[in-house]
Amino acid sequence: MNHIGPNQLIYLVEAARWTILLSLIAFAGGSVLGLALALARVSKIGALRLLASGYIQVIQGTPLLIVLFLSYFGLGIMGYKLVPLVAAGLSLTLYAGAFLGEIWRGCIEAVAKTQWEASDCLGLNRFQQYAYVILPQAVRLAIPPTVGFMVQIVKNTSLASVIGFVELARAGQIVNNSTFEPFVIFTCVAAIYFALCYPLSLAARALERKSHAAK
Amino acid sequence: MSYVLDFSFMADKWPAFVAGAWLTIQLTVVSISLGFVVGTVCGLVRVYGHPLLRRLVGFYVEVIRNTPLLVQIFIVYFGLSSLGLKLSAEVSAIIALVVNMGAYTTEIMRAGIQSISRTQMEAADCLGLNRLQTIIHVVLLPAMERVYPALTSQFVLLMLASSITSQISAEELTATANLVQSDTYRSFEVYIVVAVVYLALSALYRFAFWAIGLVLFARRRRLGTALQ
């Protein structure tokens, strides 16, 4: 029987790279989707607003695990077999998009109404209003909660392990299968997640304090 | 596309889904209640406690909030059993969910408790309320009223996160789905059904918490407005 040693730890740390990659994919995809959803939620077109809020309600009302199963096993049986990385990236994108969309909508709505009116008076069209007046201000409000949400993304990548994607949590299970020391191993796994997430949490808190101080 | 959706398996599998949903409700009601108690106590300690205890609670909150629930569940189920503490899947699931819920509730309640002005407690003192009365009526209830929206959305998130306990074969809704789909090979339909059930459950929970809020906060002040 193997014991936990440097090799096992190196294996875990190497697997953490996949956790980071998956988090980056989810964050990138989620940002694009989230921005589209946020803009749709504040759009003048009623149908767009309805569609976006319906999507957000559905995704926020179902577990990520089920979305993951749908995109991996479900699509697989329909004939669209996705590799685990793609299925996990897709599910996390759908998930992150819904939450980021809600966060960013709040930030867009938090920009003072007079900013809209002033830019209207200056003759800016809707696109120019967003690009030059509203979004630059909304982004400043959005940074602290977005960094905070990245912690959720990193933690939720652990669910990709259930469809066999070898990231940190799955690597922990694999190591455990050969060493049978689950307490030590999963504590190490948790410690690595903590090392990834805690700096993000601290950053989010510091940014929040800074933006409160600026007000 | 040649795939045809076929939900006919539901005709004889629906009792399994009902049983799964029922266990999900039981698991989450127990862990939300216990987690809320843990979180409220820890929230009080975090604000008013001994500095050392405050540190300890802070450590607990940070560790739990910065590690995935899946790994926490593994530590409780596989980890503790390897140390000699053998727990059933359901009990392990509840422990992990309570510990997790407690940490998030602590942070939310801390924010609420900190928002109660000191003069409120001085006023309660003057009115002759004892310590327990002050804590319940002057600190906790108004604090909870302020953070109630955040609290309830955290509760709903926990209900959704309870799906993760299927990974240690607690026979709740998601585990039921996994079982049925390996029986029928209708994974797409099965997970759609389960997604709909979860949606219904989150609507149900939101409604229940809204109703509880109406009873608990009789003044029905608009949430989020300042206490005078």
pLDDT at residue number B182: 87
Q: Taking CB atoms and an 8 Å limit, are B71 and A201 in contact across chains?
A: no
The structural domains of chain A, with segments of one domain joined by +, span 6-214
Please check the confidence at residue A1 and state whether its pLDDT lies above 60. Answer: no
Question: Any idea which architecture A6-214 has in CATH?
Answer: Orthogonal Bundle (1.10)
In a domain, B137, yes or no: yes
Residue pointed to by tokens 């599910």: A91
- Distance to chain B for A98, nearest Cα, Å: 14
* Domain CATH number, residue B183: 1.10.3720.10
- pLDDT by residue for chain B (228 residues), tens only, comes to 567 888 888 888 899 999 999 999 999 999 999 999 999 999 999 999 999 999 999 999 999 999 999 999 999 999 998 888 889 999 999 999 999 999 999 999 999 999 998 899 899 999 999 989 999 999 999 999 989 999 999 999 999 999 999 999 888 999 999 999 888 888 889 999 999 999 999 999 999 999 999 888 876 555 555 554
Q: Taking CB atoms and an 8 Å limit, are B75 and A158 in contact across chains?
A: no
In a domain, B161, yes or no: yes
How far apart, in Å, are the Cα atoms of B225 and each of A213, B146, B221, B222? 22, 8, 8, 6
Count of C-beta atoms within a 10 Å radius of residue A181? 20
pLDDT at residue number A5: 83
Nearest CA to A133 out of A150, A118, A149 is that of A118
In chain B, the number of structural domains is 1
Chain A residues lying within 8 Å of B198, measured CB to CB: 61-63, 66
In whole angstroms, give the CA distance from residue A19 to residue A17: 5
pLDDT at residue number B228: 45
Best residue of B4, B71, B193 to probe chain A, by most A CBs closer than 10 Å: B71
Classify B123 as helix, strand or coil: helix
Best residue of A69, A151, A185 to probe chain B, by most B CBs closer than 10 Å: A69
Chain A residues lying within 8 Å of B164, measured CB to CB: 63, 65, 159
Looking at chain A, which residue has its C-alpha nearest residue B187? A74
pLDDT at residue number A101: 96
Q: Taking CB atoms and an 8 Å limit, are B74 and A198 in contact across chains?
A: no
- Structural domain range at position B131: 10-216
Stated pTM of the model: 0.91
Nearest CA to B143 out of B213, B205, B62, B227 is that of B227
User: What would the pLDDT profile of A46-74 be if each residue is shown by its tens digit?
Assistant: 999 999 999 999 999 999 999 999 999 88
Quick one: what percent of chain A has pLDDT higher than 90?
85
Chain B residues lying within 8 Å of A181, measured CB to CB: 82
User: Which of A75, A158, A173 lies at the smallest CB-CB distance from B68?
Assistant: A158
Chain A residues lying within 8 Å of B161, measured CB to CB: 63
In a domain, B125, yes or no: yes
Q: Classify residue A158 by its DSSP letter.
A: G
In a domain, B5, yes or no: no
